[in-house]
Structure 1
Amino acid sequence: MEQCAGSGGTEPGHGGLGKLQAWEPGAADERCESACDSAYGSGLLESFSSRCSLAESGGDEAAEPAEPEERFEPWSYLSDEGDTFLHLCIIHEEERLALAFISQSETAYLNWQNDLFQTPLHLAIYTQQANVVRQLVLKGADAGLQDRNGNTALHLACQYGLEGCLRALTQPASAKELALVGCNTADVLATQNLERHNWQGLTCLHVAVLCRREEIVQQLLETGAKINTQDATSGRTALHLAVELGEAGLVRRLLRAGGDVDAPMYNGCTPLHLAVGRLDAPLAAALYQAGADPLRPNLEQETPLDLANSNSVLELWPFDDLRLRGRPVM
C-alpha cells in the first residue's frame, strides 16, 4: 500500500516498530502494517508479575544460598530506545496491563516521549487501540505533542483513516466517563488543536484530504476544524489540495462546508487557477458555478480565463456568460 501523497514520512515505532504503510481508502478495518516488534520481547510483559517480587531462595540447605533477584521497577524502567514500560505494553497490545498503568500514572509519565518523540498516545494510534487512546486522553495525556515528523496523534489518525481513534481523541466525556475518572467537570478533554501544522506544514484536515479520507474530512469539520486554514509551505487550503488531486467528491464536500472558492495561495492562485491549469473542465465548472472569479489575477497577473485561453482549450471552460463592464468576454 502506498503512502498518501504529501502526508509526511511515517516514522517507524520504537523498539523495532516496523515501517507503517498508509491505508488505501476503505481499508479502515485492516490492521496498520506496523510490525510492533520490540527489541524487548513480550516475555518481559508475560513475566511481569514474577519479576515484581523477590525470588525465593530454595533447594538443599547445604547448597550455596541463591542471591535474590533484583526487584523489577516498571515505573522507572526505560529501554535503550527511550520507551517506558507503558510504551512496551501498548506496542505489544497488552491492553489490560496498559490500562492498569494508565489508571495509576501521573500525566508526565503518560506524556513521555521516546527517542522518536513518540508518546504512548502515538503508539496507541499506530496499533489501533481506540480504548487505550480514550483512556489516555481522559487521564490528561497531551494529544498535541508532536513526533519526529511533527505529527500529533490526530495527524496519524487522519492519515490512516482511523475514525474510532479520532472519535476517542475528540469526543466530549460522557457522564459515565466523568464518574470513572473521578471528575465533575464536562471539560475533561482539553480542546484539541486541529490547526497545528506538522513539519511539512500540514494540518489534520490537509492530511485527511491528501489521503482522500472523505469521512475523516467530514468528522474533522464537524469537530471544528477550520476549512480555510492554509498549509505553511505554499498557502494551499484543503480545497486547493482536493482540486490538485482531482477529487470531485472532496471538492463538492468542501464547497458545501463553506470552503472559500477564491482563496489565494501565497502566489495568488485560487482553486480555479489550479483546475484550469490541470485542464480539468468538470472541476472548473463546479468551482465557477460555486462563485469562483475567472477574472481574479494571481501574482503574475494571470487570471483563470487567461490560462484557459493560453492553453487553447477555452471552449472547454464554462465562461460563456462572463461579462466585463456589461459586455460578454467571449
Structure 2
Amino acid sequence: MALTTGSDGGRSGPKLAGGRLSRCDSGLDEEAERQEQPWGLGPDLECGAGEERCESACDSAYSSGPLDSFSSRCSLGSSSKAPAQETTFNPWAYLSKEGDTFLHLCIIHQVEALALAFIGQCSLEYLNWQNDLFQTPLHLAMYTRQTNIVRHLVVKGSDAELQDRNGNTPLHLACLYSLEESARALTQPVTAKERRLLGCGDSGTAGPRNLERQNWQGLTCLQVAVLSRNDGMVEHLLSSGARVNTQQEATSGRTALHLAVELGELGLVSRLLRAGGDPDAPMYNGCTPLHLAAGRLDPGIASALCQAGADPLLPNLEEDTPMDLADSNWNILDLCPFDDVRLRGQPVAV
C-alpha cells in the first residue's frame, strides 16, 4: 500500500459534509475465512487471570504508543538533492480510492493491535464512516470474523444499524454466515466495567436496537437465520427480543414461519410456534403456513401447525383451503388430526 498525504494533512479525519463519494468495489463483498475468536471484554468473559491483568491489557491496547510508533515510522523524508523537509503521514486524514479509512484497512488486513489503538482514540464519526460499498468498520470486522474488534466497536458506541449496499446490517451478516460468537458480541448488553476499561462514558444502548430491520431483499435477521437453517442463531435472536410476526418478506409476504415450512424444518417450525408464530398468517396470496405444508405433503409439519391452532378450512385468494391442497390418496387425518371433535359433548376417538 502506498503511503500518501492529503493536501490538508492536518485534518482530523474524513468529513461527512458535502455529499457522498462515488461507490466502487472495495474487495470485501465476498465470504471470508470462517474463523472466529472470542472477544476479550464480554460481560461474562475475563481478559486475563484477574482485574489487574484486564486493566493492564486495556491500558496497553489503548495507549498512544502504537499510533506514535506508527507515525514515526511513516515520516516521508526528503532526498539528498532536495532542501531538508519532512512530512509526517497522518493516518487520521487518509482515505483510499475505495473510500476506506485507515481503520477500515487495519481491519481488512487483520492488524488487530493497530485497529484497537485506533478504536480507542477516534470519534464516533470516524467509527461509523462508510466506504464506497457502504461498509462500516463493524461490517468489515464481521466479514473477517474478528470478534474481539466487533466487541470493542460495540462498546465504543458504533452504530450497529447502518446498512451496506445490500441493505445488510452487521447482524444480517452474522446470520447469513452463521457467526454466532460475533452475533453475541454484537447484541450482548454493554456493562459498566467494559465502558470503564475503554474509558467510555454512558453513550446509551449499544448494539442493534431494531431487530426487525429489513435488508434490500425485504428480509429480517430472523428470516435470514431461518433461511440459513441455523437453529442456534434463531434461538439467540428470539431470546434477544426478535419478534416472529412483525414483518413479512417483500417478495411474497412470507413470515419466518412460512420460510421454515418451505424448508421442511420441523424443528424450526416448532421453535417459532413456541415463540408465538401465527399458524394462520397469510402471504400476499392468502396462503397460510398450513397451505404450504399441505401442498408439500408434509404431515409432520402439518400436524404441528394444526396442534398450534392452524385453521385447515381457511381459504387463500383462489378459494383453496389446506384440505383442498392435500393429495386425494393422502390420509387426511395426517393433515388435520381432529382430536378435539366432540359428539353430544363427548370426545370422538378416531
Report what 1:83 is aligned to: 100
Distance (Å, rounded) in 2 between the aligned partners of 1:324 and 1:304:
18
Residue in structure 1 matching 2:296, options 274, 278, 300: 278
Counterpart in 1 of 2:141? 124
Corresponding residue number in structure 2 for 1:315: 331
1:242 paired to 2:272: no
CA contact (8 A) 2:231 2:268 kept: yes
1:203 aligns with 2:215: no
Q: CA RMSD in A?
A: 2.9
More displaced 10-residue stretch of structure 1: 148-157 or 311-320? 311-320
- Percentage of identical aligned residues: 64
Which residue number in structure 2 is paired with residue 232 of structure 1? 250
Equivalent-residue separation in structure 2 for 1:174 and 1:134 (angstroms): 12
What residue ranges of structure 1 are gaps of 5+ in the alignment? 1-12, 31-44, 58-62
**Runs of 5+ unmatched residues, structure 2:** 1-23, 38-66
- Kindly provide the CA deviation profile for residues 169-222 of structure 1, in whole angstroms up to 9, marking residues without a partner as x: 111112311212445649441552111100000000000000111100000000
Structure 2 CA distance for aligned equivalents of residues 297 and 70 of structure 1 = 75
TM-score with structure 2 setting the length: 0.75
1:20 aligns with 2:34: no
Q: Which of 117, 121, 128 in structure 2 is aligned with 1:111?
A: 128
Distance change in 2, residues 1:17/1:187 (3 Å): closer
State the shift of 1:131 in Å.
Answer: 1.2
TM-score, normalised relative to structure 1? 0.79
Contact 2:119 2:156 in 1 (8 A): yes
Distance 2:35 2:98 in 1: 30
Q: Using the TM superposition, give the Cα deviation of residue 162 of structure 1 relative to its aligned residue in structure 2, in angstroms.
A: 0.9
Whether the 8 Å CA contact 1:111–1:120 is kept in 2: the answer is: yes
User: How many Å separate the matches in 2 of 1:274 and 1:18?
Assistant: 34
Aligned counterpart in structure 1 of residue 155 of structure 2, from 128, 133, 138: 138
Whole-Å separation in 2 of the counterparts to 1:67 and 1:17: 41
Pairwise mapping of residues 88-103 of structure 1 onto structure 2 (< 5 A)? 88-103=105-120
Q: Is the 8 A contact 1:172 1:186 kept in 2?
A: no
Question: Hey, what's the Cα distance between the residues in 2 that align with 1:97 and 1:28?
Answer: 20
- Report the counterpart of residue 33 of structure 1 in structure 2: none
- CA deviations 1:57-116 (Å, max 9, x no partner) are 7xxxxx635654532111110111111100000001111111111111111111111111
Asked if structure 1 preserves the Cα contact closer than 8 Å seen for 2:108 and 2:140, the reply is yes
* Of 195, 201, 206, the match for 1:178: 195
Aligned length: 291
| Aligned counterparts of 2:72 and 2:27: Cα–Cα separation in 1 | 25
CA contact (8 A) 2:156 2:200 kept: no
Q: CA deviation at 1:17?
A: 3.2
Q: Alpha-carbon deviation of 1:286? A: 1.6
Distance in 1, Cα, partners of 2:28 & 2:174: 17
Kindly provide the amino acid, as one letter, of the partner of residue 151 in structure 2. R
Code of the residue aligned with 1:99 in structure 2: it is L
Q: 1:194 maps to what in 2?
A: 211
> How much has 1:54 moved relative to structure 2?
5.0
Partner of 2:75: 53
